[in-house]
Structure 1
Amino acid sequence: MGILERNHLMIIREVAREGSLTAAAVRLNLTQPALSHAVRKIEFQLGVKIWRREGRSLVLTQAGQWLLSLANRLLPQFSLAEERLEQFANGERGTLRIGMECHPCYQWLLNVVSPYLERWPKVDVDVRQKFQFGGIGALLSNEIDILVTPDPLYKPELNFTPVFDYELVLVVGSGHKLYGAKHITPEQLSSETLITYPVPSERLDIYTQFLQPAGIAPRQQKQIETTDIMLVMVAHGRGVAVLPRWLVEEYASRYDLHAIRLGKNGIAKQIFLGRRETDDDIQYLADFIKFAAEPREEAQNS
């Protein structure tokens, strides 16, 4: 028995639709002799009788009826698959898998994703935070398509684009002794409970860029996963936190918080979007990066 092919199903469907070889040949852009030969060849290859003649018409056998049902199910799926693949090739459809290495960046990302989805109705977005081999490993192994990170690791096969500038600040509640201060020194945190995201201290800028160079450690560190709970804790005097200034300003209407500069010069940071060089021609991916930079420009001009 031979292999069932897509063109077999197309011929079975068109002959059934038209009821004659002559009309079906026109639909299939074949001559009638060529289609007659194809019909005989299909039956020979499959080793089963598909049609029987009734006068000038071809009528499907039981096997032919089953194949017609199969053709009616599968052929539209083939057409859809080809259409989708063409859209993938043209960068018009897909799922944009975004990896996050920046806990407080979720709010920023929401402000980008919502209008982006309106712009790309055939593209879905999936956000991931846990990776088998870290963010860079996830990007290199095609586990994600874009990595959101404040700390890019440059490699020849990866490109990183800065899309948003921000300042890290200390956040305190209304009853805190530092409330109203313009800036602080590392020593002033030595008696504080520092609330952070569940990230190793070697990946936290408050340690690497502020406390450790001065040889200072906070009195205690608490790890909390969600920004809302972190800020509720700070507002109720259970500790202090370090977050982007723009995020603190967004929450200012909900909680009585105060942002304090870390040192006289502050700690300036950027959000980067990393991608594989091989994906540079994917239009919806490139457009996300371009679109993500727009809020940064607005923030700088405000």
Structure 2
Amino acid sequence: MYSFEQLRGFVAVAEELHFGRAAARLSMTQPPLSRLIQKLERAIGVRLFDRDNRGVAITPAGRAFLGEARRLLALAESAPDLARRISRGSVGQLRIGFTAASAYGVLPRLLDHLARTVPDIDLDLQEMVTREQVDALLGHELDLGLARPPFDPAEFGSRLLRREEMVLAVPTGHPLTALRRPVRPQDLLTEPLIMHSPSKARYFYDLVVSMVPVVHENVVHTVSQILTMVWLVSARRGVAFVPQSTSLLGIDGVEYLPLRTTSSRPVELHLLWPKDSPNPALGVALGALESFK
């Protein structure tokens, strides 16, 4: 094994092609430098220089080794600064969880904002439903989440990012599109419904049943992902309750109708993070996101 001192000596001799000048550059005498080079040659098992009365010449093996030696020295010199920057959180990695629905509008803008304000923090994205995000945040497998309530304020810091309406996704040309008013619960008494899963999409399930008296006999499909719901609507399998931002998907064969509900913008999306996070990059990112709207 060789040392960084030996590598510095080798690079100096390779660049000066003179032991005396290299020794002076390193603020040492020539004999110790010669011994450093000899030890390095023994350690790697090749001759790095040809020496004779006319001077010093680097061997082909030495030329090949020179690039790697410079790279190793550069890494060694930059490592302390990198460690300090990671400790401050100015570089590092941020693992972000997001629900599929949050990708429609909010997530791209949030990523653009972080890329501009903290460009040296790498962003790792993981799509998860809220329940999975909560577990991953508690286990420090995620640093930041785009999630739906509820969550424990004793465990998590949070910030409300968006409120939006719930709308009704219907196939293009559906009779409900002829209404000149918001859709009422009684308009849906005989409609086939595509519903949110009460286990995997609990937030949306609870929200819908609190707003609309769902006739469960009319439920033809129960799914966990909003994208799947909209594709089923496009296939004319039924109608579905979705956040208004779903219209950004631009799926053919689907129209979005307003609903008459007791709450005007009931769908919430929160930025969520564990209060006991050990990741310094999280604090830096949260500071950067204070100006995010």
Give me the TM-score of the superposition, normalised by structure 1: 0.70
Amino acid at match of 1:167: E
Report if aligned partners of 1:273, 1:289 keep a CA contact under 8 Å in 2: no
Which runs of 5 or more residues in structure 1 are unaligned?
A: 295-302
Report if aligned partners of 2:114, 2:285 keep a CA contact under 8 Å in 1: no
Amino acid at match of 2:184: I
Q: Does 1:16 align with 2:11?
A: no
For 1:9, what is the secondary structure of its paired residue? helix
Cα deviations by residue, 1:62-105 (Å, 9 ceiling, x for unpaired) = 875664354144334445656654543444444433212x3211
Amino acid at match of 1:88: I
Displacement of 1:208 in angstroms is: 1.8
For 1:285, what is the secondary structure of its paired residue? helix
Report if aligned partners of 1:94, 1:122 keep a CA contact under 8 Å in 2: yes
Cα deviations by residue, 1:87-145 (Å, 9 ceiling, x for unpaired) = 43444444433212x321111212332454345544443321259x9212322344333
For 2:7, what is the secondary structure of its paired residue? helix
Cα distance in 2 for residues equivalent to 1:65 and 1:202: 61
Cα deviations by residue, 1:258-283 (Å, 9 ceiling, x for unpaired) = 1213x323562321122243336546
Indicate how the Cα distance of structure 1 residues 94 and 279 shifts in structure 2: closer, same or farther if over 3 A, else same. Answer: closer
Cα distance in 2 for residues equivalent to 1:164 and 1:218: 33
RMSD over equivalenced CA pairs, Å = 4.1
Cα distance in 1 for residues equivalent to 2:59 and 2:5: 19
Indicate how the Cα distance of structure 1 residues 283 and 238 shifts in structure 2: closer, same or farther if over 3 A, else same. Answer: same
Indicate how the Cα distance of structure 1 residues 211 and 155 shifts in structure 2: closer, same or farther if over 3 A, else same. Answer: closer
Partner of 1:106: 103
Displacement of 1:12 in angstroms is: 0.8
For 2:162, what is the secondary structure of its paired residue? strand
Cα distance in 1 for residues equivalent to 2:81 and 2:71: 16
Which runs of 5 or more residues in structure 2 are unaligned?
A: none
Amino acid at match of 2:28: Q
Partner of 1:128: 126
Paired residue total: 282
Cα distance in 2 for residues equivalent to 1:165 and 1:224: 20
For 2:104, what is the secondary structure of its paired residue? helix
Amino acid at match of 2:127: Q
Partner of 1:160: 158
Amino acid at match of 1:195: I
Indicate how the Cα distance of structure 1 residues 10 and 181 shifts in structure 2: closer, same or farther if over 3 A, else same. Answer: same
Indicate how the Cα distance of structure 1 residues 94 and 205 shifts in structure 2: closer, same or farther if over 3 A, else same. Answer: same
Indicate how the Cα distance of structure 1 residues 269 and 256 shifts in structure 2: closer, same or farther if over 3 A, else same. Answer: closer
Q: Does 1:37 align with 2:26?
A: no
Amino acid at match of 1:107: Y
Query: Among the aligned pairs, what percent are the same residue?
Result: 21
Q: Decide which moves more: 4-13 or 16-25.
A: 16-25
Equivalent positions of 1:134-213 (< 5 A) are 134-154=132-152, 156=154, 158-173=156-171, 174-177=173-176, 179-182=179-182, 184-185=184-185, 189=188, 191-196=190-195, 199-201=197-199, 203-211=201-209
Indicate how the Cα distance of structure 1 residues 9 and 88 shifts in structure 2: closer, same or farther if over 3 A, else same. Answer: same
Cα distance in 2 for residues equivalent to 1:6 and 1:252: 60
Give me the TM-score of the superposition, normalised by structure 2: 0.72
